[in-house]
A = this chain, B = another copy of it.
Amino acid sequence: MLALTPVLVAVVCILILWIFKAADRSSETKKREPQTQPWEDEDLKDSTDLHPVEEDAEEQQESEEHVEHIPFSHTRYPEEEMVKRAQEFYELLSKRRSVRSISSEPVPMEVIDIVIKTAGTAPSGAHTEPWTFVVVKDPDRKHQIREIIEEEEEINYMRRMGPRWVTDVKKLRTNWIKEYLDKAPVLILIFKQVHGFAANGKKKTHYYHEISVAIACGILLAALQNAGLVTVTTTPLNCGPRLRELLGRPPHEKLLMLLPVGYPSKEATVPDLRRKTLGEIMVKV
């Protein structure tokens, strides 16, 4: 009997050890779960890519260092004209507003082509041009996009607002009903290519892809405003993978932004917001 005790103690100890390990693993799993804030986009974690591509260790040899250099040609304006041009461009862009009430009237598609070409002049990390602009005109496709986005938005709002808001449904509905997705004659969905492909089929890193594509979107917004079209900059929460599949885009492309584009509807209103002054956004050293 006494001889059995050490064995018993050993078994108990191993049991304790095993329980501790198990508890540890589960707490670790919890730690690794995405701590998503309500406004954080789960799309950035979209991993519907079933065939991961191998990375190319030699890729730096493909860099732009080997490209021939040519003289830079520059148009210089007299100082007075620089100020005038800058001021006119400021006045044009200061009138830009996010417009959610868009008329269904068609827009000239030639203008859409040109503004997207303009966005494509943006700089990008190592000149990778990691953007795809998907232009949707087809009413059925637009409606499918709307359904996906409204479904996800409803979930987002419910989750974010919690039970104290759920009774006030009428007020909330205005937040997730996106009529402009059906009405706007054109939707532009902007995808960032999180990597590219080298000549040998391996992954090619896209340096700073998100920043590059957002810069291109800034230029696109300026080009739309310059052409007399309106839009609203939207980042549909968590809809990326479904929209990507709907539009047949490959897994290395992730949705960054969606712009419904058109003319403003006659009854369009905008919130009476002020912008920060120059003194509030600029510091001189």
Residues of A within 8 A of B (CB): 2-3, 5-6, 8-10, 13-14, 16-17, 20-21, 24, 28, 37, 39, 60, 64, 67-77, 79, 81-83, 85-87, 89-90, 93-99, 101, 108, 110-111, 113-118, 120-123, 125, 127, 129, 131-138, 141, 160-161, 205, 207-208, 210-211, 214-223, 226-230, 232-233, 235, 247, 249, 256-257, 263-264, 268-273, 275-276, 278, 281-285
Contacts and interface: CB of A to CB of B under 8 A. Distances in A.
Given A93-B219, A222-B219, A283-B133, A118 B68 contact: no
B123 A98 contact: yes
Contacts of A87: 114
Contact of A108 (B82, B121, B226, B271): B82
Number of copies of this protein chain within its complex: 2
A204 B40 CA distance: 15
19 contacts: A10-B13, A39-B207, A64-B271, A69-B270, A72-B230, A75-B228, A83-B110, A85-B228, A86-B111, A90-B117, A90-B118, A96-B123, A113-B282, A120-B278, A127-B273, A129-B275, A134-B284, A137-B284, A222-B222
A236 to B, nearest CB: 12
Contacts of A70: 269-272
B134 A285 contact: yes
Residue among A96, A115, A221 with the most chain B CB within 10 A? A221
Nearest to A219: B218
A284 B223 contact: no
Nearest to A55: B37
B129 A37 contact: no
Nearest to A13: B13
Contact of A16 (B17, B60, B221): B17
A101 B215 CA distance: 22
A37 B215 contact: no
A134 B284 CA distance: 6
Contacts of A101: 72
8 A-B pairs closest in CB distance: A218-B218, A13-B13, A214-B214, A215-B218, A86-B114, A69-B269, A67-B271, A72-B268
B134 A283 contact: yes
Residue among A9, A96, A160 with the most chain B CB within 10 A? A9
Nearest to A128: B276
